[in-house]
Structure 1
Amino acid sequence: MEIKDEYYKKIVKKINDKIYSATSTHHPIISEAVDDLVKGGGKRLRPVMMFISASFGDYDREKLLELGAGLELLHMASLIHDDIIDDADIRRGNKTAQSKFGKNTSVLIGDFLLSRTFSIFSAHLDNKMLQKLNKIVRLICEGEIEQAEKKFDFNINTRDYLKIIRHKTALFFGFATHLGAYVSDIRGIRLNTLYKLGLEIGMAFQIQDDILDFTGKESKTGKALGRDLKEGVVTLPVICLLENNNYRKKYDKLINGGRIREKELDLLIKDVKESDSIEKSKELLKKFIYRVEKHLDNLPDNRAKKRMKKIVDFQIDRNY
């Protein structure tokens, strides 16, 4: 499924233009890396959600486009650094920066994007929002570190998992909707509702991503099925599988820190797909979708709400 709304497409195009403008440089490697990231796909959900959130108030379109580019540049920088950490060669079906330019250069490309991000935000945000941004970036980093510390830890439970994805994914979504509302002079209960809406969409987004790691089509997701697990990231479907005592006994050596072989991981992936683990994961996903819908119910019935509902519907049905 794709979001085929013309409003969505126009925003994405204008934000892409702003990204090119913000990262203009005479250095060919940086220009090529940015071009790869922009043309390599990505749903631009965070800036689009920021725009829709702003539509519940009075907003400055040009300012929002700048901030949308800032959000996406921050996300792109995190992807570059993620690929270095994971030693990933492919993202969304394309070569990663670290596979094209090497790790050292890619670290600097990511840092360059971060510098442009904070240049944009410092020009448009007050001190209160800059402090909130700094906190979000800190928590995202902590979430990534927590995930790295849990690599190949098959004793991770659902509570641990939800804490990690809240930090590394959901808080950024919440910041996007909060930012859009805040710069449009929305305050009080509605500001809090839009923040929580973004946060819950972010939780649902990551859970769906982790389900698709086992059920998606490689041509759509742009990565090999089960790649997260093979990189040591134990996600919700695996946690659900190992809650079953029979499977815990089967994978006792893995759970107790034994040597991990490729064929055992392949078998684990097969069991996840053939058991009820995916359905159990979807049940938890539905709980977050329900929370999203409750927050939507607290917003006025207008065009902005309909557009946000399209984002939610896309989230439920997407296959990439």
Structure 2
Amino acid sequence: MKLKDLYSFLKKDLQQIEDQLVQSVRSDQTLIHTAGVELLKAGGKRIRPVFVLLSAQFGTYNIQQIKKPAAALELIHMASLVHDDVVDDADMRRGRVTVKAKYDNKIAMYTGDFIFASALKLMTEIDIPGAHQILAQGIKEMCLGEIEQINEQYDTDQNIRKYFKRIKRKTALLIALSCQLGAITSKADVSLQKKLYEFGFCVGMAFQITDDILDFTASEKQLGKPAGSDLKQGNLTLPALYTIYRHPLMKEKLKLYYESKDAALLAELLKDIKRLGGIEYATDISDKYLKRAKQAAASLPETEARDSLLKVADFIAGRKF
């Protein structure tokens, strides 16, 4: 079953969001417009807009209002990816050439800024001050998460607690905000807003941990980038951190790789992390977050939206790319 089958009743509303995204990246500057359209064509799971729409079902649902934060959150996500590709010097994403690689760093940075500004402009059409405050604080936290990742790059002495803090800010928070802002915009009960935030946060943590596992276990064709890219770029994720914590010799091998950049040594490290239990440990942690997410969703009113939230959580647990 495909992800979109889990919320097929939202098909028409999701098309309105796609139309809104196209409108939001329009520009009379050809390069920015072309880059923005190419980003939209690259697709993506549209997880954040889906969570906005599903969460809005627990209040007064009005697609003309809800589509604004839904599109805005996807635009913020897109802008962050464009900037990430510049920072990471990445040539490929989702199997496509990045804006940075096709044009250059300057075009990529300004394209990201333009998309980000488009998101903020769209949010101004939502007359709920609390929503703007929550989103602004969330964006600040995302930036702190990115800085933390830069500071911790190639740091073999970092602990697992720092990793959790980093992925909370980089990934989980925006998914949590998608659920929260969907509920706020539809004026759902405050108690439901809190439950939906908890669901989104836990799903977001599981989503990122699963991504980090797949970087070791999926194929280059599935990932749209070479396997082991995170480790190669000095971004130590949960499978690697667990392994070097439990096996000190692995830390020395990793340090040697970062000094030598020996491709054969990287291949050894990838095998070692899988052999020494890093994948199993990370999978167990991901499963625990998913259990918490499903507990939060189970306490919501019994609706088609709640069933879809539970199904999406299960899908994330079982995805292969």
TM range (shorter): over 0.9
Q: Following TM superposition, by how much is the alpha carbon of 1:124 offset from its aligned partner in structure 2, in angstroms?
A: 1.2
Q: Following TM superposition, by how much is the alpha carbon of 1:131 offset from its aligned partner in structure 2, in angstroms?
A: 1.3
- Compared with structure 1, are the counterparts of its residues 291 and 252 closer, same or farther at alpha carbon in structure 2 (3 Å cutoff)? same
> Which residue matches 1:231?
233
> Which residue matches 1:149?
151
In the alignment, is the contact (CA less than 8 A) between 2:24 and 2:115 conserved in 1?
A: no
> Which residue matches 1:51?
53
Q: Which moved more, 1:138-147 or 1:298-307?
A: 298-307
In the alignment, is the contact (CA less than 8 A) between 1:46 and 1:72 conserved in 2?
A: yes
Q: Do structure 1's residue 209 and structure 2's residue 211 form an aligned pair?
A: yes
| Whole-angstrom CA distance in 1 between matches of 2:285 and 2:13 | 31
| Whole-angstrom CA distance in 1 between matches of 2:28 and 2:208 | 36
| Whole-angstrom CA distance in 2 between matches of 1:275 and 1:140 | 32
In the alignment, is the contact (CA less than 8 A) between 2:53 and 2:182 conserved in 1?
A: yes
Q: Following TM superposition, by how much is the alpha carbon of 1:158 offset from its aligned partner in structure 2, in angstroms?
A: 1.5
| Whole-angstrom CA distance in 2 between matches of 1:191 and 1:251 | 43
| Whole-angstrom CA distance in 1 between matches of 2:98 and 2:12 | 27
Give structure 2 stretches of 5+ with no counterpart: none
- Compared with structure 1, are the counterparts of its residues 250 and 278 closer, same or farther at alpha carbon in structure 2 (3 Å cutoff)? closer
Q: Following TM superposition, by how much is the alpha carbon of 1:18 offset from its aligned partner in structure 2, in angstroms?
A: 0.8
Q: Following TM superposition, by how much is the alpha carbon of 1:260 offset from its aligned partner in structure 2, in angstroms?
A: 4.3
Q: How does 1:70-149 map to 2 (within 5 A)?
A: 70-149=72-151
| Whole-angstrom CA distance in 1 between matches of 2:129 and 2:250 | 54
> Which residue matches 2:302?
301
- Compared with structure 1, are the counterparts of its residues 164 and 125 closer, same or farther at alpha carbon in structure 2 (3 Å cutoff)? farther
Identical-residue share of aligned pairs (%): 36
In the alignment, is the contact (CA less than 8 A) between 2:56 and 2:185 conserved in 1?
A: yes
Q: How does 1:155-174 map to 2 (within 5 A)?
A: 155-174=157-176
| Whole-angstrom CA distance in 1 between matches of 2:65 and 2:219 | 37
Q: Do structure 1's residue 319 and structure 2's residue 320 form an aligned pair?
A: yes
Q: Do structure 1's residue 23 and structure 2's residue 25 form an aligned pair?
A: yes
Secondary structure class of the residue paired with 2:125:
helix
- Out of 64, 67, 88, the position equivalent to 2:66 is 64
One-letter amino acid of the structure 1 residue matched with residue 143 of structure 2: C
One-letter amino acid of the structure 2 residue matched with residue 203 of structure 1: M
| Whole-angstrom CA distance in 2 between matches of 1:233 and 1:203 | 17
Give structure 1 stretches of 5+ with no counterpart: none
Secondary structure class of the residue paired with 1:185:
coil
Q: Following TM superposition, by how much is the alpha carbon of 1:275 offset from its aligned partner in structure 2, in angstroms?
A: 2.7
Secondary structure class of the residue paired with 2:3:
coil
| Whole-angstrom CA distance in 2 between matches of 1:306 and 1:220 | 28
User: 1:204-257: CA deviations, max 9, x gaps?
Assistant: 100000000011122222111000111110000101211223xx2244264599
| Whole-angstrom CA distance in 2 between matches of 1:84 and 1:204 | 26
Q: Do structure 1's residue 221 and structure 2's residue 223 form an aligned pair?
A: yes
One-letter amino acid of the structure 1 residue matched with residue 280 of structure 2: E
User: 1:114-170: CA deviations, max 9, x gaps?
Assistant: 111110011214222111111100000000100111111112222111000001111
In the alignment of these two chains, the number of paired residues is 318
Secondary structure class of the residue paired with 2:15:
helix
User: 1:265-318: CA deviations, max 9, x gaps?
Assistant: 332112112332101110111110110111012111111111111211211111
Secondary structure class of the residue paired with 1:43:
coil
| Whole-angstrom CA distance in 1 between matches of 2:13 and 2:311 | 15
Q: Following TM superposition, by how much is the alpha carbon of 1:8 offset from its aligned partner in structure 2, in angstroms?
A: 4.9
In the alignment, is the contact (CA less than 8 A) between 2:216 and 2:227 conserved in 1?
A: yes
| Aligned CA-pair RMSD | 1.7
In the alignment, is the contact (CA less than 8 A) between 1:11 and 1:48 conserved in 2?
A: no
| Whole-angstrom CA distance in 2 between matches of 1:237 and 1:260 | 22
One-letter amino acid of the structure 2 residue matched with residue 295 of structure 1: A
One-letter amino acid of the structure 2 residue matched with residue 267 of structure 1: E
- Compared with structure 1, are the counterparts of its residues 266 and 22 closer, same or farther at alpha carbon in structure 2 (3 Å cutoff)? same
TM-score by length of 2: 0.94
TM-score by length of 1: 0.95
